[in-house]
Amino acid sequence: LFVDQQHHELAQKALSQLSDKPQLIPVHPENGPDWKSIVCDEKLSTPKPCPQDAALLIYTSGTTGRPKGVIHTHESLLYGGWNTEIAHQLTLEDRTLCVLPLCHINAQVVSVMGTLVSGSGLVIPDRFQASKFWSWIVDEKCTWFSVVPTILSYLMNAEEDEKLISKLGHFRFGRSSSAALPPALHKAFEGRFGLSIVETMGITETAAPLLSNPLDPTKHKHGSSGIAYGNEVRVADAEGKVVCTGEENEVQVKGRNVMQGYFKNPQATREAFTPDGWYRTGDLGKMDADGYIFITGRLKELIIKGGENIAPREIDDVLYRHSSVLEAAAFPLPDADYGQTVAAAIATRPGEEVTESALRQLCLDAMGAYRAPSKYFFLDELPKGPSGKIQRLKLTERFTD
């Protein structure tokens, strides 16, 4: 087990609970691993894993409920990496900046596995810092990065170094995933930095990559997570009946990057697949005539007001149109008359303000009184999971009387 000085004590504490303890290899911040410490006379047996052997146990973010353990095989992880390589046309000349935590599937598969299968380079700072982000890109000659929309928002708020931005001629694209990328933020970021941002979609159960917009900026569709690369995607009902183009239903996926199942949860595993073997993502979406998927919300996050289904994502996108809104999320609250009513939580950009009346009018103009939020809550920061995805259920729990 390779461990740096900062986490050495924590690693020892964790290993004390194991009967079969691996050797600890110290990692120096400047010199790297202490290779001499692993030289020994003992002949070690080399394991010979099969493609279908379990290789990774990783937990979901628990956005819509209790986190579940996801089991990935050696094969599914490799296919996650290959799908990344295919979608982004990675080569030996590429180098990615990984600022997402390695405990998350995005970093493990997109950044790390995508790098390994393509033979390209990988730069891993200790943690994300908006003030150092562009200098890392320039100094380490990184050609792409994979981040979440929250990081794009932080970079928009940080002071930019025009000299650094002018040195990004080698940079190919930025990748956004793990949460919905508001079209307003997408356009603003590209306009400010002059860089192409590729909106994608990935989930823990599919070894990260699931959908991606093409690299060609002229083929991007703002608000869409893109098309399938390396796996199959459809929009269908729970029984697997595919719906018509433009009709909303569940996004489902099939491919060798899909998980083996949920850890010690056979019932959840059975419920996660359709009778014909497609994984049910739990995301609602529509497919257009070109095969692009537009996510409209989560099945478990639908707001049902007076019997009408309202997708929170549509309300989010309207709120993000206001230039002072940094984070926004619509969510349901109990209501005596309608069963549920629409509420919204907002975090504004540092030093900026927005009134409830301004947001209320924005929503009324865009979607009418019935679908517009009836309550607004202003927070310093919205609750998020490890991947940066806003957790609507926690907002409902917090503001339910």
Pick 21 or 325 by higher pLDDT.
Answer: 325
pLDDT digits (tens, 9 = 90+) for 63-81: 667 889 999 999 999 999 9
Distance of CA 370 to the CA centre of its chain: 31
Q: Which two tokens stand for residue 337?
A: 């008359």
Contact in structure between 201 and 225 (CB atoms under 8 Å): yes
* Phi, psi (degrees; rounded to nearest 5) at 366: -85, -35
Three-state secondary structure call for residue 190: helix
Check residue 36 and give its pLDDT.
Answer: 82
Check residue 63 and give its pLDDT.
Answer: 66
For the cut 80, the answer to whether the pLDDT of residue 1 exceeds it is yes
Q: Where are the beta strands (DSSP E) in 299-338?
A: 303-305, 308-310, 325-335
Domain ranges of the chain: 2-38, 54-298, 302-399
CATH of 302-399, one of 3.30.300.30, 3.40.50.720, 3.90.226.10, 3.40.228.10: 3.30.300.30
Contact in structure between 376 and 343 (CB atoms under 8 Å): yes
Contact in structure between 318 and 358 (CB atoms under 8 Å): no
Check residue 29 and give its pLDDT.
Answer: 82
Contact in structure between 257 and 230 (CB atoms under 8 Å): yes
**CATH superfamily assigned to domain 54-298:** ANL, N-terminal domain (3.40.50.12780)
The alpha helices in 272-355, defined as continuous H runs, are 312-319
Helices and strands (H, E) in the chain, number of each type = 12, 21
Task: Give pTM, 2 decimals.
Answer: 0.86
β-bridge mates for residue 384, sequence order = 390
Check residue 32 and give its pLDDT.
Answer: 86
CA atoms within 13 A on the CB side of 64: 10
